[in-house]
Structure 1
Amino acid sequence: MRLRLRQFRPRTGPHEHRVVQPLQPLRHTSLRAPKPIGLLLGDHDGLNRLACLFSFAAYSRHTIVHVPLRAGLPPDEGVGELVDLVLAHHTLGLRPSKWPELRRKLVNGTPLTVHTDEARTARDATSWREHSERADFRGELRHATHARTFFLFGSRDVFAETATNFAHAAGRGPHQKCVTKGHSALMAALPTLVQEPGGGHPLEVLICFKPYPPYAHFRQPAR
């Protein structure tokens, strides 16, 4: 699928970084940080583009993907802090505490068009699921919340698995009966997040489909 982005090359000291954002905002998609349950709520367009962004992130080890979800319309359900989303490979070494400095330098970006490979993404997602059953599995998503931003750090395969979860939510969400009345439908969740020590309720981020209002515009796809 074709993905239209904006690319930035900010510098911090001697280091140049590559940061990309969606060229157009995901107007009807929002994210609430997990405390302990987070909620990602989106329409078909938003969930579909997130699937592509995760797929792009899976194969872009030296790129930071920034999705400014707070720029969209405020959701009419859910509780908790609304946050942006940042994706980065764990090998990149991005520190959340350094993000505000980088974010301030995201000016004068240049348009960029990329294409995602759904077949390759599906193969790597399958590989992640097969390895996740092993006792020595260490392929979870690391995460942090800082400066009104939710950070996800992972590898190629776990980002690919997440992309398939979003693609499922985008494809099957419009077929759920409850959404014709403006209700959200739980479709998936982010793959296993690294859990905080000390027990308690596991951290989760639920992925829900919801058409944007006014709901009279929404027509359920033919079965």
Structure 2
Amino acid sequence: MELRLRQFRPRTGPHEHRVVQPGRPLRHTSLRDQAPFGMLMGDHDGLSRLAGLFSFAASSRHTIVHVPLRDGVPPDEGCGELVDLVVAHSEAGLRPSKWPELRRSLGRGTPLTARTDEARTERHARAWLERPYDRGLLRHTTHARTYFLIGDREVFSYAATAFAYAAGWGPRHKGVAKGKSAFMASLQHELEPTRGGGHPSEVLICFKPYPPYAHFKRPGH
């Protein structure tokens, strides 16, 4: 998959960081944060590009992937605060408390084109799935209206396949042509357990076309 991105090289003190964003907004994709359940809702374009962005993050250990989602079209269902998304390897050295300062120093950025390797993503996702007792999980937290997922190559690859599945099969669900959302997948077993117990955290991944719904046709119709 070819991704059109914008690349930034902000500095905090003596440290330079590499941050990338989608080249154009995911206008009809949103993320609501309401512990313990978050809801990510998107159309085919948004979910497909999220699959690509997670795949890109999986192979970019020193890059911070920032997906602004708060300024898109607000969804007409769900509850909880609208938040942005940041995906980064542990090796990127990102501290969520430092993100607001980093975000303010992004500037205009430069265009970047990247290509993901779906076969490699599938291999790494399968490796994560086949190692149930010794595999990396996603650290997750919300800070400054941003939801952070920090992990490693294999778990990001597995998450990428969840978004790809939602993008590919969501349009086939009955009811979506009338504006109904379809639950497609979730991030739950990929997330680190909640401290102190309680209900495990989960991010629901839902497909929903954007209005007016007359423009949308289910595949095969």
CA 1:126–1:138 in structure 2 vs 1: closer, same or farther (change >3 Å)?
Answer: closer
Q: What's the offset of the Cα at 1:113?
A: 0.2
Q: How does 1:62-73 map to 2 (within 5 A)?
A: 62-73=62-73
The question of whether the paired residues in 1 share the 8 Å contact of 2:34 and 2:79 is answered with no
Q: How does 1:23-102 map to 2 (within 5 A)?
A: 23-102=23-102
Q: Which whole-Å deviations, capped at 9, do the CAs of 1:113-152 have from their partners, x for residues lacking one?
A: 00000000000000000012x2xx2411111100000000
Select which of 157, 165, 170 maps to 1:168: 165
The aligned amino acid for 1:61 is R
Q: What's the offset of the Cα at 1:156?
A: 0.2
Q: How does 1:99-178 map to 2 (within 5 A)?
A: 99-132=99-132, 134=133, 137-178=134-175
Q: What's the offset of the Cα at 1:198?
A: 2.1
Q: Runs (4+) of structure 1 moved beyond 6 Å? A: none
Partner of 1:220: 218
Partner of 1:15: 15
The question of whether the paired residues in 2 share the 8 Å contact of 1:88 and 1:154 is answered with yes
Partner of 1:6: 6
Tell me the SS of whatever aligns to 1:177.
coil
Tell me the SS of whatever aligns to 2:198.
coil
1:192 counterpart = 2:190: yes
Q: Which whole-Å deviations, capped at 9, do the CAs of 1:83-117 have from their partners, x for residues lacking one?
A: 00000001222100000000001112000000000
- What is the RMSD of the two structures over their aligned residues, measured on CA atoms? 1.0
Aligned residues: 220
Q: What's the offset of the Cα at 1:33?
A: 1.4
The question of whether the paired residues in 1 share the 8 Å contact of 2:33 and 2:147 is answered with yes
Tell me the SS of whatever aligns to 1:73.
coil
Measure, in 2, the Cα distance between the counterparts of 1:198 and 1:174.
38
Measure, in 2, the Cα distance between the counterparts of 1:34 and 1:128.
27
Measure, in 2, the Cα distance between the counterparts of 1:155 and 1:7.
21
The question of whether the paired residues in 1 share the 8 Å contact of 2:40 and 2:205 is answered with yes
Q: Which whole-Å deviations, capped at 9, do the CAs of 1:167-215 have from their partners, x for residues lacking one?
A: 0000000000021111000000124211222222111000000000111
The question of whether the paired residues in 2 share the 8 Å contact of 1:43 and 1:210 is answered with yes
Measure, in 1, the Cα distance between the counterparts of 2:124 and 2:164.
14
Q: What's the offset of the Cα at 1:34?
A: 4.0
Measure, in 2, the Cα distance between the counterparts of 1:138 and 1:173.
28
